[in-house]
Structure 1
């Protein structure tokens, strides 16, 4: 068929039909909504019951759906957990972007914004999956690129906020490692053993001073 004839035939497609070729169908939208509902229910179950006690029947019940409806979207619990891990990663990135997008370019507000995110249920659910990935090779294979992307985005956003760090990449690497490991370690300790709020403030204040001492002039 010549290009002219093909173009002619395409132009004969009714506008309404052409629009439907590129717009998601009602069924596709419904399917995406149900899938999202199941993932959100999984997040709540991870927070309430832990990874070890989160089962597909519990997720279906939490979502208000039948097990059959759930199996239509996820063949097994592993697929559901992998999809939940990826979604939690994107949620963390979106929350971080929103947080730093409204901040002044100072270390204090950045550190506290990061800390606030680590207090959210999303972090608890993410850590449940991250811990499970230690002995689950398939979950670990999903987690590794997710962690790598988060670290890269965190690096890029920090440079965007504090361009002076680009003068000393080594100091910047140390500052990021200190921030990440101190805050996430403290968040995990808070979940496991509990931690005094006054102690949290002392650590945040000291970390801020260390970061400022590292920052290039």
Structure 2
């Protein structure tokens, strides 16, 4: 009996079971399918049967993991937020935190389908009360997590937290607005390099070391 109990305990310590791994993989598959549907047909036409078909699953199999469209959309928004945070961390890996490197990395992220899917949800939430009820608290949670990680990743800005907040807001707002304008044809792609260069120069001017050098000079 002792040996059997010990064996069971060892098996229990081995980590996720095959079934839990399979379940997580299926959930990820459905979320990826939801993102593709949002990009292809928009929020209004992204239905659970369509997502199930896109994922290559039956609707019943999908409902086993997500009981309704609200839970599926909530999980999708959470995944999109996680991808944005991961992209931000990757763009911040260099110790020099050069604006050119960081801006280029985030701009590349904005060209991916995940950004188009997120924008589709954000715009739809403006006039869709149920979606707004899901979106708003997750947006607040994301903003708090993003700000917390940003402060930790950029110690060189600790002496100027207000300037840092403005620099991050300027970068995110400008680049995401540019990406949205490109999708709708409102921005000429030829203007993108020059606009990103202007952003880089502005961020350099706002850095605490640049301000100290200007005062010292």
- CA offset at residue 62 of structure 1? 0.9
CA distance in 2 between counterparts of 1:156 and 1:109 reads 21
Find runs of 4+ consecutive structure 1 residues off by over 6 angstroms.
none
Among candidates 70, 76, 80, match of residue 78 of structure 1 = 70
Partners in 2 of 1:95 and 1:19 — Cα distance? 37
Note if 1:140 corresponds to 2:132: yes
SS in 2 for 1:134: coil
Question: TM (normalized to structure 2)?
Answer: 0.84
Choose 24-33 or 62-71, whichever is displaced more: 24-33
Question: Per the alignment, do residues 79 and 176 of structure 1 end up closer, same or farther by CA in structure 2, a change over 3 Å counting?
Answer: same
Question: Match of 2:213?
Answer: none
Which runs of structure 2 are paired with 1:33-52 in the superposition (5 Å)? 33-52=25-44
Rounded to whole Å, the distance in 1 between the matches of 2:200 and 2:172 is 13
Structure 1 residue aligned with 2:8, among 10, 14, 17? 17
2:48 alignment counterpart: 56
Distance change (3 Å), C-alpha of 1:61 and 1:27: same
Aligned partner of 1:193 among 151, 171, 185: 185
- What's the CA shift for 1:190? 1.0
How far 1:153 sits from its partner (Å)?
4.3
Bigger Cα displacement from structure 2, 92-101 vs 111-120: 92-101
Query: Per-residue deviation at 1:101?
Result: 1.5
Instruction: Report how many aligned residue pairs link the two structures.
Output: 208
Counterpart residue number, 1:6 = none
| Shift in alpha-carbon separation, 1:170–1:95, aligned structure 2, 3 A | closer
Unaligned runs of 5+ in 1: 1-8
* Shift in CA distance, 103/196, structure 1 to aligned 2, threshold 3 Å: farther
What CA deviation, in whole Å up to 9, does each residue of 1:143-194 have, x standing for no partner?
A: 2343334334443454455433222222222212211111111111111125
- Normalising by structure 1, report the TM-score: 0.84
For the Cα contact (< 8 Å) 1:103–1:109, is it kept in 2? no
- Cα distance 1:143–1:110, how it changes in 2: closer, same or farther (>3 A)? same
Segments of structure 2 that go 5 or more residues without pairing to the other structure are 210-217
